[in-house]
């Protein structure tokens, strides 16, 4: 029993769970609502720092610091989403990339975040007056994962979720159907941020030490890779993608120095041979359908329709 539950493995279980929550959150923004974010790690950082600072300086217990971090990231998501989401597609990708770098840089320089030294001695959560064991922390993390997946699923299969998909597929049509696209995009952004806030809080109180290095562009890119690998917009996909990519560095550990090289190769190969991701609806199938009705005479018939005017 001890061997399976040793701190090393439990640590991996916790970290993987945290990544699953991050991926589920970004999947709402990018997968459901179609808004590419390259700065998701900013919200992860805000959650982690908020939770850490509230515990260290406000002496708040973990069980209050975590929801506080969630609320703060939700609000930050709205505040940052409102201006950012005015720009589209490639512009948005770069703006969110910028937001990520700005927040990392703030964390690196501000006094309250401990500057480049980061914040240490973040208290571990207590349960019934006892410090939580690694095992109970892992269980708690995965309970949050389950909750996160459930909430994402409920949100997706609702009026709001359908509006998100409409924005993703064709923003103009969504607009014409009465969807306030700005509002809905900000909503997705805020919910994704909230997920990252929860993940950040868990991370801070698990590792008990955070610094700006943990929240850079690489982190954002990794989370994005997870949901693309799983299949954009798919909840099981986000979970699977996050588990696979979070485990990859561990599994590839014996390859030592070649580990990251292979990771990069994997990304390139996957994008080439399975761009729709593991759980994604294959574009090839969609194209085949598209061809089928085109053959039935999309443009051809249109010309015929025009000629009827004579």
Span 197-236, contacts to other proteins by CB under 8 A: 217, 221, 224-225, 228, 232
Query: In 3D, which of 16, 18, 52, 96 has the Cα closest to residue 211?
Result: 52
Task: Give the number of residues in contact with other proteins, rule: CB under 8 A.
Answer: 88
Q: Cα dist. 127→1, 67, 230 in Å?
A: 22, 16, 34
For the window 5-44, what string marks contact with other proteins as x by the rule CB under 8 A? -------------------------x-----x-x------
Residue list 110-149, contact with other proteins (CB under 8 A): 110
Q: 131: helix, coil or strand?
A: strand
Backbone angles phi, psi at 276, to 5 degrees: -80, 0
Contact 121, 57 (CB under 8 A): no
Q: Which of 281, 279, 31 is nearest to 168 (CA)?
A: 31
Positive or negative: CA dihedral 245, 51, 100, 258: negative
Is 64 a binder of other proteins (CB under 8 A)? Answer: no
Does position 251 interact with other proteins (CB under 8 A)? The reply is no
Task: Figure out which of the listed residues 5, 117, 127, 177 binds other proteins, where binding follows CB under 8 A.
Answer: 177
How many CB atoms lie under 10 A from the CB of residue 212? 22
Is residue 220 within 8 A of residue 39, CB to CB? The reply is yes
In the bound state with other proteins, the residue whose beta carbon lies nearer, of 127 and 183, is 183
**Binding test (CB under 8 A) with other proteins, winner from 2, 3, 254, 293:** 293
x/- track of binding to other proteins for residues 81-100 (CB under 8 A): --xx-xxxxxx-xxx-xxx-
Q: CB 58 → other proteins: shortest distance, Å? A: 22
Query: Which C-beta is closer to other proteins: that of 53 or that of 166?
Result: 166
The packing angle between helices 235-251 and 7-26, to 10°, is 140
Question: Which of these segments, 123-131, 135-143, 198-206, 257-265, binds other proteins (CB under 8 A)?
Answer: 257-265
Provide the 8-state DSSP code for 278.
S
- Closest of 281, 28, 23 to residue 163, by C-alpha: 28
| Residue closer to other proteins (CB basis): 64 or 154 | 154
Determine, following the binding rule CB under 8 A, whether residue 292 of this chain makes contact with other proteins.
yes
Query: Cβ closer to other proteins: 10 or 107?
Result: 107
Name the residue nearer to other proteins (CB basis): 146 or 176.
176
Q: Using the rule CB under 8 A, is 63 a contact of other proteins?
A: no
Among 118, 161, 192, 230, binds other proteins (CB under 8 A): 161
């Amino acid at each position: 029993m001890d061997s399976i539950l040793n701190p090393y493995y439990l640590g991996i279980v916790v970290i993987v769970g945290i990544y699953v929550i991050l991926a589920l959150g970004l999947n709402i923004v990018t997968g459901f609502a179609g808004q590419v974010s390259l700065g998701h790690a900013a919200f992860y950082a805000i959650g982690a720092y908020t939770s850490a600072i509230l515990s260290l300086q406000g002496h708040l217990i973990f069980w209050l610091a975590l929801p506080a971090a969630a609320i703060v990231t939700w609000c930050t998501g709205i505040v940052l989403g409102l201006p950012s989401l005015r720009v589209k597609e490639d512009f948005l990708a770069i703006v969110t990339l910028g937001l990520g770098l700005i927040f990392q840089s703030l964390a690196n320089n501000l006094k309250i975040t401990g500057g480049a030294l980061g914040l240490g001695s973040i208290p571990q959560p207590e349960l019934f007056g006892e410090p939580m064991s690694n095992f109970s922390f892992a269980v708690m993390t995965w309970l949050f994962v389950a909750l996160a997946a459930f909430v994402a699923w409920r949100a997706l299969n609702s009026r709001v979720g359908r509006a998100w998909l409409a924005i993703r597929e064709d923003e103009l049509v969504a607009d014409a159907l009465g969807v306030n696209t700005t509002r809905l995009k900000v909503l997705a952004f805020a919910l994704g941020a909230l997920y990252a806030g929860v993940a950040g809080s868990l991370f801070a109180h698990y590792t008990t030490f955070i610094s700006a290095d943990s929240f850079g562009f690489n982190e954002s890119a990794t989370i994005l890779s997870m949901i693309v690998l799983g299949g954009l917009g798919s909840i099981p996909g986000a979970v699977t993608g996050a588990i696979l990519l979070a485990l990859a560095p561990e599994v590839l550990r014996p390859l030592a120095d070649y580990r990251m090289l292979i990771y990069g190769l994997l990304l390139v190969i996957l994008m080439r041979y399975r761009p729709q991701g593991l759980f994604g609806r294959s574009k090839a199938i969609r194209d085949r359908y598209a061809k089928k009705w085109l053959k039935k005479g999309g443009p051809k018939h249109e010309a015929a329709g025009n000629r009827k005017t004579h």
